[in-house]
Structure formats: structure tokens, C-alpha cells
């Protein structure tokens, strides 16, 4: 089982990462999950990997992930955020806090779309900074679910890129700033956020 990491982030917040090296047929099929309508092997593998992570984290092979009207994944007794990319999948679970996670394999493809998500008042001079910017904003989308955010509604405060760190993302539609943790290595960029780490500001 290629579980890459199982980490307790806070008292009730857990991060699990899976390195997807198996064939679809090697992954366990939850007994009450029906994916017969999904014909893409890649998509099937992503779904089954997320369930393998969920089973690992909860010990229950029976819980199904549902989605609310915004598309946010929902569990019966916990908050969950999920993400997958080429070769990797990640989930963050919490009993009490809304959470967000994003994982993106390391590549330069973001350089082709920087004008779509990086604001003119954000200085992102390196590929690493752009990857963190992209993933951090994807994570904030998930934490600020239901707010109909667009990329340019978010602005990262200046930061120095390291292998591990935190960035602060301003939600410009609401008076608040979200702290996003990140990890950057040769394989992927990972970002996650916990709603309770949000700072609310008073409007004057």
C-alpha cells in the first residue's frame, strides 16, 4: 500500500497522501460504491485512491463521499477536502473545522496560464512561487466554499519561497485573510488550510 504520509496537523485535523503507483484493479473497491458509469481508468483510479485514503484514515470501508450543491465533498460525521494530480492524491479530514487541500505535480505548465490567476499586484518571479500561488488559491476556494470566489478575488501577501512554509491569502470579497500552509519538493506542491486559521478584519 503506497501510503506516502499520514500526519496529524492539529488535534482533530489529519492529512493523508497517497502515491498512486497501482493499477486500478489493485485498489480495493468499497462494497457500496458504484463506478460502472465511469469509463476512464484514470478517473476510476483517482476515485478509488481517495477511498483507500479515507478507509485508512477512518477504518471504515463503508462511508461514501457525497457532494453538496456547490460540489464540496461531504461526509456524515466529518469535514473532508480531497485533491489529486498526476501520480498523487491527498485528503484532509477534520471533525469540527472546514478544511481545504490541493496537490499539484511539479511542472512548468502554470507558466502558460499565469495571466489567468496571478494578479498584477502580485510579484511571483519564479516557477516555485507561481505553483504555490496556484495551489494556495485552489485551497482557499475550498475553504471559502459558497462565496463564488474568482482567482483575482484573492491576493497573496509577499512571501519568500521555501521547501515548507505558510502564505497569507487575502479574500478581497470578504474582510478576511486565510493562512495556507505549503510544501514544495521535486515531485509536487501541497497546500492546505484550516478555516479556524482565518483572520477576520473589520471594515471601516
The domain segmentation of the chain, as residue ranges, is: 3-101, 107-197
**pTM (2 d.p.):** 0.92
Confidence of residue 204 (pLDDT cuts 50, 70, 90): very low
- Rounded CA-CA distance 73/68 in Å is 7
Question: pLDDT tens for residues 5-17?
Answer: 999 998 889 999 9
How far does CA 77 lie from the centroid of its chain?
20
Model pLDDT, residue 1: 60
pLDDT-based confidence at residue 190 (cuts at 50, 70, 90): very high
Q: Of how many residues is the chain composed?
A: 204
> Per the structure block, which three cell numbers stand in for 105?
505535480
Instruction: Indicate whether 159 pLDDT > 90.
Output: yes
Give 33-86 pLDDT, tens digit per residue: 999 999 999 999 999 999 999 999 988 877 889 999 888 999 988 999 999 999
How big, in percent rounded to 5, are the helix, strand and coil portions of the chain?
25, 35, 40
Mean predicted confidence (pLDDT) in 149-160: 97
Alpha-carbon distances of 143 from 42, 159, 169, 194, rounded to whole Å: 26, 21, 11, 7
188 contact partners, CB below 8 Å, separation of at least 6: 85, 88, 103, 104, 105, 106
pLDDT, the chain, mean: 93
Residue 200 is predicted with a pLDDT of 53
What average pLDDT does the segment 182-195 reach? 97
Checking if the pLDDT of 88 tops 80, the result is yes
**What's the CATH code, domain 3-101?**
3.90.470
Amino acid at each position: 500500500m503506497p501510503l506516502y504520509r499520514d500526519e496529524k496537523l492539529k488535534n482533530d485535523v489529519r492529512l493523508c497522501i497517497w502515491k498512486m503507483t497501482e493499477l486500478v484493479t489493485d485498489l480495493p473497491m468499497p462494497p457500496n460504491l458504484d463506478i460502472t458509469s465511469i469509463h476512464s481508468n484514470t478517473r476510476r483510479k483517482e476515485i478509488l485512491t481517495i477511498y483507500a485514503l479515507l478507509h485508512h484514515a477512518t477504518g471504515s470501508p463503508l462511508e461514501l463521499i457525497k457532494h453538496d450543491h456547490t460540489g464540496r465533498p461531504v461526509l456524515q460525521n466529518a469535514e473532508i477536502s480531497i485533491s489529486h494530480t498526476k501520480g498523487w492524491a491527498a485528503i484532509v479530514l477534520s471533525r469540527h473545522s472546514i478544511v481545504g487541500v490541493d496537490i499539484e505535480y511539479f511542472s512548468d505548465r502554470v507558466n502558460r496560464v499565469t495571466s489567468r490567476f496571478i494578479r498584477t499586484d502580485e510579484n511571483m518571479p519564479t516557477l516555485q512561487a507561481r505553483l504555490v500561488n496556484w495551489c494556495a488559491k485552489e485551497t482557499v476556494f475550498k475553504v471559502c466554499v459558497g462565496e463564488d470566489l474568482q482567482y483575482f478575488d484573492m491576493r497573496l501577501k509577499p512571501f519568500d519561497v521555501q521547501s515548507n512554509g505558510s502564505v497569507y491569502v487575502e479574500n478581497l470579497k470578504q474582510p478576511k485573510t486565510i493562512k495556507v500552509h505549503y510544501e514544495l519538493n521535486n515531485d509536487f506542491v501541497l497546500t492546505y488550510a484550516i478555516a479556524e486559521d482565518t483572520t477576520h478584519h473589520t471594515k471601516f
